[in-house]
Amino acid sequence: MNPEQVTTIKANLYDRIMAGKTAEEIANKAVICRYVDATNDGELDLFDLFVDENYIENEPIPGQGPGREELKKAYVVFNGPFPDLEYVFEDLIAEGDLVFGRGVITGTHKGDFMGVPATGKQIRWTGTRLFRLENLQVKEGWINVDMMGMMQQMGVIPAPPAPDPATFAPNKHVSGAPSTREANKALMRRFIEEVWNKGNLDVADELFHPDHVSPSAPALPPGPEGTKMIATAFRNAFPDYHMTIEQMAAEDDRVAARFLQSGTHLGELWGIPPTGKFAKFSEIGILRIADGKVVESWYDVDMLGMMGQLGVGG
């Protein structure tokens, strides 16, 4: 990154840290920023300062045990094959003892990664972390990483046909008045229950701004139509589909949540014929809200885990 990009990133992080309403939230965000810096710099022994020795990773990588030392080993295993790996924070949301962090990760694949030999390719993927802290110590964590995208870029899994991102029109940045934390959490609950669980797709017209965009899925149409398309695809493929909100945190212009979703694959999904198999997988989503409407959204979904349970994708 050039100096101008570094300055922009730091300014954005400062704004996100200062969006905290309490000293605890501001401090917790700062701890997580230092956590990420330690992973980027390979200074994992700094975890001793702010990660509890009995740390719990709720979604560990294969072979990872409990505790801080196992967390360090997991970063060596995951990051080691990408010697120039860098995680850049793009968002931070905190409430109480929870901190959600969304970022973009890049690195050159120069070593064996979970059985995939080095390809020499520059890989770019997204990841969202959720942490719970207590007395400025990181107690437990959850993660959703675009493992499917990583494997597709490495050539392990075929990538479906997709339009060239360079052909996409620039997204409109919609601004507006902030809301309240409780209102934003109520919006998230209504979105999940009405649109996803009940299939009341018209509710999306009430919740989403006409110029809403989702950088996680840039090929989707803007506004509520993109959300309706994805919800329809999943609900048709999984007739008993259900999503639960496991954790949630909100600020005045954002709300983040970690979800668990499940269903039986009885219909076609993106060309994959029904398998009759039951799948349960996680997701972390972030909504940016202006004037009471969702104007931007980001999602990291365990698509690789879902496909694995369906017996496809490898």
Q: Report helix, strand or coil for 200.
A: coil
The burial of 295, by beta-carbon neighbours within 10 Å (0-12 exposed, 13-18 middle, 19 or more buried), is given as: buried
The whole-angstrom separation of Cα 92 and Cα 107 is 22
CATH topology of domain 173-310: Nuclear Transport Factor 2; Chain: A, (3.10.450)
Confidence band for 3, pLDDT divided at 50, 70 and 90: confident
Q: Lowest-confidence range among 17-31, 167-181, 285-299?
A: 167-181
pLDDT of residue 171: 74
Encode pLDDT of 4-39 as tens digits. Answer: 877 788 788 889 999 999 999 999 999 999 999 999
Confidence band for 244, pLDDT divided at 50, 70 and 90: very high
CA-based nearest residue to 287, from 128, 145, 133: 128
Give how far Cα 254 sits from Cα of 12, 32, 202, 303, Å. 15, 18, 22, 24
Greatest extent of the chain over all pairs of C-alpha atoms, in Å: 52
* pTM of the predicted protein model: 0.94
- Residue 314 pLDDT > 60: no
Classify domain 3-154 at the CATH class level. Answer: alpha beta
**136 is written with which tokens?**
């400025």
Chain-centroid distance, C-alpha 14: 20
pLDDT of residue 10: 79
Sole residue written with tokens 């995680």: 87
Encode pLDDT of 107-166 as tens digits. Answer: 999 999 989 999 999 999 999 999 999 999 999 999 999 999 999 999 998 877 766 655
pLDDT of residue 8: 82
> Residues 45, 49, 50, 55: what is their CA dihedral angle, to the nearest 10 degrees?
60
Whole-number average pLDDT of the chain: 93
Range(s) within the chain of domains with CATH label 3.10.450.50:
3-154, 173-310
Cβ atoms of residues 231 and 251 within 8 Å: no
Encode pLDDT of 202-216 as tens digits. Answer: 999 999 999 999 998
Q: Computed over its alpha carbons, how large is the radius of gyration of the chain?
A: 19
**243 is written with which tokens?**
């999503």
Long-range CB pairs of 192-201, under 8 A, 24+ apart, other chains included? 192/243, 192/245, 192/257, 192/259, 195/227, 195/228, 195/231, 196/231, 196/234, 196/235, 196/241, 196/243, 196/261, 197/241, 197/242, 197/243, 199/231, 199/235, 201/228, 201/231, 201/232
> Residues 289, 15, 251, 196: what is their CA dihedral angle, to the nearest 10 degrees?
50
* 245: enclosing H helix or E strand: strand 242-251
Encode pLDDT of 178-191 as tens digits. Answer: 999 999 999 999 99
Encode pLDDT of 188-242 as tens digits. Answer: 999 999 999 999 999 999 999 999 999 988 888 999 999 999 999 999 999 999 9
Encode pLDDT of 57-99 as tens digits. Answer: 999 999 999 999 999 999 999 999 999 999 998 999 999 999 9
pLDDT of residue 203: 98
The β-bridge partners of 126 are: 104
